[in-house]
Every structure is written in structure tokens, then in C-alpha cells.
Amino acid sequence: MERLHENFNNIKSIHLLGVGGAGMSGLAILLKELGFLVSGCDVSYTSYVEKVTREGVFFELGHRRSHIHKFKPDLLIYSSAIPLENEELEEAKKSNITIAKRGEVLSWIFDMKMGVGIAGTHGKTTTSSMIGMLFENAGLDPTLAIGGELCDIGVNAKLGYGKTMVAELDESDGSFEKFHPYISVITNADWDHVNQYPNFSCVLDAFLRYINNIKIGGSVILCGEDKGLCMLLDKNINNCHAVTYGWGDAWDWGAENVVHLQGSGVRFSIVHSGKSEGEIGLSVSGDHNILIALASRIVAYKMGIPFDIIRNTLKEFKGAKRRLQLTGRFKDILVYDDYGHHPREISATLRALRQMFPTRKVVTVFQPHRYTRTAALYRDFADSLSFSDRVLLLPIYPADEEPLDGVSSSLIVQMRPEWSKKCFLCGSSEIAVEILQNIVDKDDIILTIGAGDVVSIGEKYLELMSCFVN
């Protein structure tokens, strides 16, 4: 970059709290590539920590006041998962060190580029990944900041030397309102992050404020099939051009003649302004990925990327890690893993599996994420999980939350008394693996889903079954 944002003036050393998360690790890599001296800490040694340390980021396990004096940062960045009473945060305040949230600092970098911002309650990571790969294959050399690791590129962040930046923007803490995109995709608007948004109206208000931050002459690309976004279209959108996409020719861009392929993949035709543009094939499955491909096609159109590059890229696209990812198999039993932790995400993933394997049974292992989300949405979780043939429920993964009285995974079970023979409450991962061993039959699909460490269940099951064979 020719010059750094004025907010980086006099900044040489930067320290990140919570660097073991996907978003913070990506930011750490970008800052390192921009030439800053970067350090970070977290409570556990994650795979993302391994990546940032390989890039030359200094890491300390845990949170201690002494880290501030050891690294002597000019800027301290913290994620929304860090409590305000964190001792490093408190020490930085006492030392008059500049403090900023992750989203704010990422926006400084973003606004130096032609920013393509990906927002929405669900599907942001896959959409960002697909658009990032399109830009890469088109030779645009984009800067990337994505909330998950790309299977195709192998990173979740990189500093490109082209004029564009593709960034996944986080609505969970309201930080997406600090960004000023040239182009923005909004995949959907749903009620989530209940601590930040007391009701759905607050969610819509936040997305409207974000849309009105889009640069004059820019574009916002909205899924017309989403009820929340349709409500936004009825409101006063300033300065930017709104483009819609969805099923058929009712929208500016649409998908029709959809064919779901057994095992994996889908074919469909793209319609633009009522005219067929041609057929697209995806190696990933599910209706949600068709809509993501449509949004990505529109961004590519805006950027002048040739259709041949688009067609070839979408066919090659393997998705992001933990997005309906095949993690292993034992004979004819397949194990998939997904990050979905909202009822709508779970429903989309289960529908995709049904489209891929219409005759197979699905055994779902779900780990609820956060007490507040479970308390607000347990009825919806029960509805979404009903698409499974059998369900294993793990204890709630709290993240940074304290337990709430009366809130546990059993709330979900209580909504479905007919589940007495198909649902199992598991007190630990070991119990879950044992139950899987006893109930999974030949040709079944195992789906581990959630934002915690539920992915380990599938890994442990496969390891156990392989031991029996050997």
C-alpha cells in the first residue's frame, strides 16, 4: 500500500487479545504483512495460533498484565469475546496505550482499498471465500480478510497488491457499521446475537445504517428471497444501487433449472434481467450455495471478470473449512462437519445433505453455542434438528458467557416429546462417541455441527472404528 491510514500514524508495535480466533488471526497476518511488529495472546493454542506464529507473530499463552510491558505495543486490539475487565486491557488503559476493537482496525485497512464487504447473519464466510477465489483467479491479487480458512487458497487472510479488498464483516458486535464498501453483498438478515440486538427490528436498523455507509455510486447486492432483506428494500436506501438475486426471473439475477447431483454438486442456469446467461456447475451442494454463487457472479460482473473465469472458478470451488466439509469415512459411513450454530444454518445444512443423499439416514451431533442464543432460539433449534433421523445433543458451549439458570440443551429436547427414541442427551464427547458406535448403521451420514469443539466427535468416532478394523 502506498500509504497507511492516518489512524496508523506513529504505530509500530501491535498486540492482539484473542489472536487464536479466525478473525483476529487473519487481522494479525495482515498487520504483519503491512510491516508492523505484531504479538498476540489467547487462552488456548489453536490451529490459528500455529498459523500466525509461522508468519512471525509473537505469541503468549494466557492473559497477563506483564504482556503489555513485555511487548510494549503502541496499539492494543481486542475481539468482542474479550471481557472489558481483562487484565491486559486494564493495564493498557493505565499505560495510555491506544486501544481499538478488531472491526475498527480492519476498517482502517479496508477503507484504503476498493472494498467489497460481505455482510449478513449467515453465509458470510462461504460468500467471502468464493468471491476471494474469483478475484484471485481473475488476477486481481486482492487483499483478503475472511472469518474461516479457504480450502482452495489455504489461508483466511492475505495482503494483496491489487486495488481490491474482500472482507467478511461482523454484525455480532455492530462493527460492520464502521466499514464503507464500494460493493457489498448482504446474504440475509436474521435475529441472532441477542445480547447485541434485543429484537429483530434492531437487526434491521443496523443493516440499514450499514447500507447507508456504502460509498456513493456503489452497489448493494441483496438476496430477494430473504424476508428481512425485503423489508430493507422497502426502506430508504441512500446513495447506492440495489441489486437483487434469488430463484427464477423475479429478481435482477436468478437461478433456474436446478439439478442437485447425488453425492455432491449442483447444476443450474443463471438468468440476468430475464435472459439466460448460461449454465453453472458447483462441486459444493445445497440451495444456499446456489444463492451464494449468484451473489458472487454479480460481484464478478461488477468487476468485469469474464464469464469463462467465473464458470471455471465456481466449478473448482471447494468451500471453506467447517462448511459441510467431508472430514472422513468408515466403510460406507460418511462423516461431515459444519460450523452452523443458528437454526437457519442447521436447516440449510440438513437440506443440503438430504439433496446429496436422499436415501440415507442422517445422525446429527449438535453442540449449542452460547446460553443466550439457546434461551432465545431453543424452539427453532428443535424445529431445524427435526430434519435429522437421530440427534445427539452435547452440553452448551459457553464461549465467554456465564451459565443461565434453567438453560441447557434439554430445553431443545423438551420441545419434541416424540423424540424419546431418536434423541440422546450426551454429557461428554466420550459418551457421544460411544452412542454413535451403537446407533450408526451402514450407509448412515454423521453430521457434527456447532461452533464449539463438536468437530472432535467425528474424529474420535473414526479413530475408534478404525481401531476395531485393525
User: What confidence score (pLDDT) does residue 321 get?
Assistant: 78
Domain 111-316 matches domain 325-469 at the CATH topology level: no
pLDDT at 174: 83
Which CATH architecture fits 11-102?
3-Layer(aba) Sandwich (3.40)
- Among the CATH numbers 3.20.20.80, 3.40.50.720, 3.40.1190.10, 3.90.700.10, which is that of 111-316? 3.40.1190.10
Return the pLDDT at 312.
96
- What integer pLDDT is reported at residue 416 of this predicted model? 84
pLDDT of 2: 44
Residue 354 has what pLDDT? 93
296 neighbors 125 (Cβ within 8 angstroms): no
40 Cβ neighbours under 8 A, 6+ residues apart: 15, 16, 17, 18, 19, 20, 24, 28, 49, 52, 57, 58, 59, 60
pLDDT value for 323: 85
Grid cell digits, residue 454: 463438536
pLDDT score, position 263? 87
Sole residue written with cell 443496523:
206
| C-alpha cell read off for 281 | 456447475
- Decide: 250 and 224 in contact? Cβ < 8 Å: yes
The confidence score (pLDDT) of residue 8 equals 85
Decide if 268 contacts 279 (C-beta within 8 A): yes
* All structural domains of the chain with their residue ranges: 11-102, 111-316, 325-469
- What stretches in the chain show pLDDT beneath 70? 1-5, 148-155, 236, 238, 468-470
pLDDT, one tens digit per residue, over 255-310 is 999 999 988 899 999 999 989 999 999 999 999 999 999 999 999 999 999 999 99
Architecture in CATH for domain 325-469: Alpha-Beta Complex (3.90)
- What CA–CA distances, in Å, run from 96 to 38, 73, 76? 19, 11, 10
